[in-house]
């Protein structure tokens, strides 16, 4: 086993070193260049249950559709057996069920011949031989196996040596990638910044680095306050006049958006006036460990 999460989800896996030929890349000898890649095959119990639920929902939906089609097909009557067989073959080809298997059979039956006009009293109905199609439906449920393909996924890395980075470390890095993606997703879209007037590409590069650092701090604020709030317990103020135990940095900044800061210098020491600063703000700052940024001679006005 690679690891088990706090929610009880289990991960099993094993890595394999496999040679891979690079397209259109030639070595010094003129032959196709071959590199060794590491494939980590992982089974996730959480992914298995998720895909199993999706499959069961699709199975139920397909079963309902098949029932409607089968009712229409079985109501049909055919003059000869070959016609009935041909209709069954066509239905199987057209329906193409993914989660069910179908078996068709042609059965003879006697039906009353339709005649024109009114029947004479006491006249016996004329029976003729017709053919109908009967259908059996079986659900192709995949057996519940620990290493079912439904719960499998593959990670590819160029880190070939398991001693430098174990299979578990590779999986943990992959699982932690989602946190980074969410924190830096802003970079993947059009950057909402004002026009940049810089004289060199180097300065633009440095400005981009400043943005990355700012977003890193942005993510660390959320991580730290959630971690400390989890240890302390309870909830903190939310901008929607409620309290939350999963605050985001954006929500924290919104709580502070109306606070006004005024610093008045004098000969002895400066004086700071905070307007619209209350206990909610003090609670958040204390949780972040930033209470020391505001000296004791600060006065708060609301």
Give DSSP secondary structure letters for 137-173. Answer: EEE-PPP--TT-GGGEEEEEES---TTTS-HHHHHHH
Confirm whether 146 is domain-assigned.
no
Tokens encoding 270: 């400066």
Q: What is the mean pLDDT of residues 176-202?
A: 71
How far apart CA 223 and CA 236 sit, in angstroms, is 15
Query: Where in the sequence is the domain holding 288, given as residue range(s)?
Result: 224-301
Among 5-9, 215-219, 249-253, the range with the most confident prediction by mean pLDDT is 249-253
DSSP three-state, residue 34: strand
Residue 197: phi and psi, rounded to 5, are: -110, 90
C-beta separation of 58 from 68 below 8 A = no
Per-residue pLDDT tens over the stretch 196-235: 677 888 888 888 888 888 888 888 898 899 999 999 989 9
Q: What is the mean pLDDT of residues 17-37?
A: 77
Residue closest to 13 by CA, chosen among 143, 157, 144? 157
What's the structural domain count of the chain?
A: 1
Confirm whether 247 is domain-assigned.
yes
What is the band of 145 on the pLDDT scale with cuts at 50, 70, 90? Answer: very low
Helix (H) or strand (E) holding 54: helix 45-74
Confirm whether 216 is domain-assigned.
no
Lowest mean pLDDT among 87-91, 248-252, 288-292: 288-292
pLDDT for 143 equals: 52
Confirm whether 286 is domain-assigned.
yes
Higher pLDDT, 252 or 117: 252
Residues 6+ apart with CB under 8 A from 112: 125, 126, 127, 128
Q: What is the mean pLDDT of residues 292-300?
A: 61
What is each CA distance from 273 to 46, 144, 199, 260, 288, in whole angstroms?
53, 66, 40, 8, 21
Confirm whether 74 is domain-assigned.
no
Tokens encoding 45: 């119990």
Inform me whether the pLDDT recorded for 296 exceeds 50.
yes
- Please name every residue paired with 121 in a beta bridge, in sequence order, or none if there are none: none
Per-residue pLDDT tens over the stretch 66-76: 999 998 888 88
What predicted TM-score, i.e. pTM, was given to this entire model? Answer: 0.52
Q: What is the mean pLDDT of residues 228-249?
A: 89
pLDDT for 191 equals: 60
Tokens encoding 159: 């880190």
Confirm whether 36 is domain-assigned.
no
Confirm whether 256 is domain-assigned.
yes
Confirm whether 169 is domain-assigned.
no
């Amino acid at each position: 086993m690679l690891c088990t999460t706090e929610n009880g989800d289990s991960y099993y896996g094993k890595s394999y070193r496999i040679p891979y030929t690079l397209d259109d890349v030639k070595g010094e000898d003129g032959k196709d260049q071959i590199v060794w890649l590491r494939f980590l095959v992982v089974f996730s119990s959480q992914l298995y249950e998720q895909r199993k639920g999706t499959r069961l929902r699709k199975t139920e939906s397909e079963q309902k559709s098949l029932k409607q089609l089968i009712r229409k097909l079985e109501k049909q009557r055919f003059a000869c057996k070959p016609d009935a067989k041909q209709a069954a073959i066509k239905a199987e080809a057209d329906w193409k069920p993914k989660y069910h298997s179908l078996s068709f059979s042609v059965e003879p039956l006697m039906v009353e011949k339709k005649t024109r006009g009114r029947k004479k009293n006491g006249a016996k109905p004329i029976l003729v031989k017709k053919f109908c199609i009967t259908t059996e439906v079986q659900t192709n449920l995949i057996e519940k196996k620990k290493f079912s393909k439904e719960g499998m996924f593959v990670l590819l890395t160029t880190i070939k040596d398991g001693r430098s980075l174990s299979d578990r470390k590779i999986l943990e890095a992959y699982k932690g990638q989602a946190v980074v993606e969410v924190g830096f997703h802003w970079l993947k879209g059009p950057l909402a910044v004002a026009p940049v007037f810089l004289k060199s590409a180097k300065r633009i590069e440095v400005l981009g680095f400043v943005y990355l650092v700012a977003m890193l701090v942005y993510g660390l604020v959320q991580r730290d306050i959630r971690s400390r709030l989890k240890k302390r317990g309870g909830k903190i103020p939310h901008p929607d006049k409620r309290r939350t135990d999963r605050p985001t940095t954006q929500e924290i900044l919104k709580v502070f958006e109306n606070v006004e800061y005024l610093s008045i210098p004098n000969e002895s020491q400066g004086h700071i006036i905070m307007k619209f600063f209350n206990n909610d703000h003090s609670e958040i700052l204390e949780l972040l460990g930033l209470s020391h940024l505001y000296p004791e001679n600060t006065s708060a006005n609301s």
